[in-house]
Amino acid sequence: MKNFIGFLVLIITLVGCNSSHKTKDTYSSTDKSSAVTEHPGKKLMEANCYVCHNPTATQADRIGPPMIAIKKHYINNETSKEDFIASMQAWIKNPNVEDAKMYGAVKRFGVMPKQAFAEKTIQQIADYMYDFEIEQPEWFEEHFNEERGKGKGMGNGQGKKQGMHQAQTNFEDLSYGERGLKYALTTKAVLGKNLMGTIQKKGVLEALTFCNERAYPLTDSMSVVHNAVIRRVSDKPRNPKNKANSEELDYINTFKKVIANNEEASPIVKEVDHKVKVFYPITTNTMCLQCHGKPNETLNETTLARIKSLYPMDKAIGYNINEVRGIWSITYDK
Residues in the site for ligand HEC, rule: CB under 6 A? 48-49, 51-53, 64-65, 70, 88, 91, 95, 100-102, 105-106, 109, 111-113, 117, 125, 195, 204, 207-208, 211-212, 215-216, 232, 234, 237-239, 242, 282, 284-285, 287-288, 290-292, 316, 325-326
Residue 60, CA distances (Å) to 10, 184, 235, 236, 272 in order: 16, 24, 36, 34, 43
Closest to 277 measured CA to CA, from 257, 299, 250: 250
Measured from the CB atom, is 120 or 160 closer to ligand HEC?
120
Nearer to ligand HEC, 16 or 281 (CB): 281
CB count within 10 Å of CB 296 equals 9
N-term to C-term CA, the chain: 28
Of 15 and 287, which CB lies nearer to ligand HEC in the complex structure?
287
CB of 80 to ligand HEC, least distance (A): 17
Q: Which is nearer to ligand HEC, 20 or 187 (CB)?
A: 187
d(CA 210, CA 191): 10
Closest to ligand HEC by CB, 100 vs 249, is 100
Is-contact 269 176, C-beta < 8 A? yes
Nearer residue to ligand HEC within complex by CB, 42 or 325: 325
CA 157 and chain centroid, separation? 28
Minimal distance, residue 270 CB to ligand HEC, in Å = 20
Least Å distance between CB 267 and ligand HEC? Answer: 16
Q: How far is the CB of 30 from ligand HEC (least distance, A)?
A: 28
Of the two residues 101 and 165, which places its CB atom closer to ligand HEC in the complex? 101
Q: How far is the CB of 273 from ligand HEC (least distance, A)?
A: 27
Q: Are 88 and 117 in contact (CB under 8 A)?
A: no
Q: Please, what is the minimum distance in Å from the beta carbon of residue 29 to ligand HEC?
A: 28
Closest CA to 277 of 292, 267, 285: 267
Contact in structure between 99 and 91 (CB atoms under 8 Å): yes
Report, in Å, the least distance between residue 31 CB and ligand HEC.
29
Q: How many CB atoms lie within 10 A of CB 167?
A: 9
Calpha distance 248→236 (Å, rounded):
12
CA 214 to chain CA mean position, Å: 18
